[in-house]
Amino acid sequence: MTKNKKVNQMWGGRFDAQPSDIMTQINASIDVDKRLYKQDISGSKAHATMLVAQNIIPAADGVKIQDGLDQILGEIEDGTFEFSTALEDIHMNIESRLKDIIGDAAGKLHTARSRNDQVATDFKLWVREACDALEAKIDSVQSTLTKLIKEHDNTIMPGFTHLQVAQPVTLAIHLDAYKQMLERDKLRVTDCRVRLNQSPLGAAALSGTGFPIDRDATAKALGFDAPQPNTMDAVASRDFATEFLFCTAQCGLHLSRLAEEIILWSTPQFGFITLSDSWSTGSSIMPQKKNPDAAELVRAKTGRLNGNLIQLMTVLKALPLTYNKDLQDDKACVFESFDVIMLCLETTSGMVDSMTVHKDKMLEAAQSGYSTATEIADWLVRELGMPFRDAHHITGAIVKVAEDKKCRLDELSLEDMKKIEPQINDSIFNVLSVEGAVKSRRK
Ligand code: ARG
């Protein structure tokens, strides 16, 4: 529960009046940034350890601070911590509670630190963990796809261009295309993590501090590769967050394309797959309906993911150095996009893993639409030494005959084809079937 009563004790000195209620409301971020509690406590513990090691605060106060922070972590995790809107954000909520618990020593924790480097540090730690979780989740969706790819190495289906039957492919190749997209999505996340892994802590408000702090020590304690070299950059920049948002948006975009195909494939018109009941819904009025809602929602979530990326880029655009309160609006979008992409990945995996594939329908569709016409043209080039453009023309004429006869290309007789090009012989039948066409591309 968030209570509203507490007066801000952090900067009381210069202020005569309380903030207005609406000011408190627009200023507070606790409902969003309470999600940073673990990172905030880790950051504070690392900072306090360093302050003691550098003889900036007494060791006895350091011990009190560490114990107090541990207690607060426990209180937050077991739900007994009382969050206060008047205390604005997670940093001041924790510091204020620390004062309740350990008294005046709590006031020493903020030596040589500002909320500006504190929040940038916390947020980076959070996004870093999110990168790890996202990478692992993408990996598990890839495993589901790998299973299906192995299963459907010989499942022939039409490949489409312009959503028209183009050439026969296998379901394995089609699904592998998504696996490859996810591989790049994963690499993008890895890369984002590498770039963000420098510590803002010690940048203080913007220009560092006169205290003899050890930024290498806090960076190391928090698992960063190094301190962020420019202190103004450290407190002002959020490109690690926009980059993460892009990673989620790009991955969501890939998932939305797969979702769209699942929706199409599950229509009676395509009939390629049936979604399991656990991943579909019924209609309240039409008893015959089974709707691919899960896939539709994955498709829709792209809107949120793209929107969040644009939101943060818009907040950052033209923002002067260094910290501005606008930056407080950097978290809700990142938290939401993380939750959304994790849900979409999980949903995609579940849906794909449990769908029934109708191989007969896929084969039938692959055989329609003269999908092996390119094979005839290639055969004419290969076997008869024809220029491709001529071969293309002759093949067009052969397709026309099949169209008139209302038959598939592999149902034409040799005579039918010889009438158009006398040099054609029996061996053309090797490439006319969809199976032959797929095989010819497997060399
Ligand atoms: N809640 C703030 C944020 O998320 C913390 C930093 C506040 N810094 C300040 N100078 N007011 O950005």
Check which CATH number belongs to the domain holding 254 and give it: 1.20.200.10
Residue 381: inside a domain, yes or no? yes
Axis-axis angle for helices 115-151, 171-196 (nearest 10): 160
Specify whether 397 is located in the same domain as 341: no
pLDDT for the residue numbered 3: 47
Q: Per the domain annotation, does 224 fall within a domain?
A: yes
- Which residue, chain included where needed, has tokens 């890895």? 190
Pocket of ligand 1 (CB under 6 A): 29, 33, 89, 115-116, 119, 323, 325, 327-328
Closest atom of ligand 1 relative to the 323 alpha carbon: 10
pLDDT at position 443 over 90: no
The domain tally of the chain equals: 3
Q: Are residues 280 and 148 in the same domain?
A: yes
CATH number at residue 18: 1.10.275.10
- Shared domain for 57 and 190, answered yes or no, is no
Residue 6 lies in a domain: no
Atom of ligand 1 nearest to the CA of 327: 12
Distance, in Å, from the CA atom of 293 to the CA atom of 31, rounded to the nearest integer, reads 31
**Is pLDDT of 162 > 70?**
yes
List all residues 6 or more positions away from 163 whose beta carbon is below 8 Å from its beta carbon. none
Final residue in a domain of this structure, among 334, 357, 380: 357
State which residues form the domain around 121.
116-163+180-357
Same structural domain for residues 378 and 318?
Answer: no
Do 202 and 299 lie in one domain? The reply is yes
Does 126 lie in the same domain as 101?
A: no
Domain boundary among 111, 136, 154: 111
If asked whether residues 128 and 226 sit together in one domain, one would say yes
Residue that is last in its domain, among 357, 381, 404: 357
Residue 395, pLDDT score: 94
**95 part of a folded domain:** yes
| Residue 5 pLDDT > 50 | no
Ligand 1 center from residue 122 Cα (angstroms)? 11
Q: What is the pLDDT of residues 50-108, one digit of tens each?
A: 999 999 999 999 999 999 999 999 999 999 999 999 999 999 999 999 999 999 999 99
274 and 185, same domain (yes or no): yes
pLDDT of residue 8: 60
Token readout for 204 is: 């203080």
Could you tell me if 333 and 427 lie in one domain?
no
Residue 380 maps to which CATH number? 1.10.40.30
Q: Annotated catalytic residue: which of 20, 140, 207, 283?
A: 283
**For tokens 């076997």, what's the residue?**
383
260 shares a domain with 397: no
| DSSP-assigned letter for residue 170 | E
Q: Tell me: do 94 and 159 sit in the same domain.
A: no
Pick the more confident residue, 19 or 317: 317
Q: Whose CA is nearest to atom 2 of ligand 1?
A: 328
Q: Does the residue 313 lie in any domain?
A: yes
Whether 196 is in a domain gets the answer yes
Confidence of residue 369 (pLDDT cuts 50, 70, 90): confident
Answer yes or no: do 81 and 221 share one domain. Answer: no
> Can you tell me the distance from the alpha carbon of 391 to that of 395, in angstroms, rounded to the nearest whole number?
6
What was the pLDDT predicted at 1? 43
**Alpha-helix residue ranges (DSSP H) falling in 222-286:** 231-236, 239-265
Residue 171 lies in a domain: no
Alpha helices by DSSP H, 163-238:
171-196, 215-221, 231-236
Q: How far apart are the first and last CA of the chain?
A: 65
Per DSSP, the three-state class of 52 is helix
Query: Is residue 44 predicted with pLDDT exceeding 80?
Result: yes
Residue 398, in any domain of the structure: yes
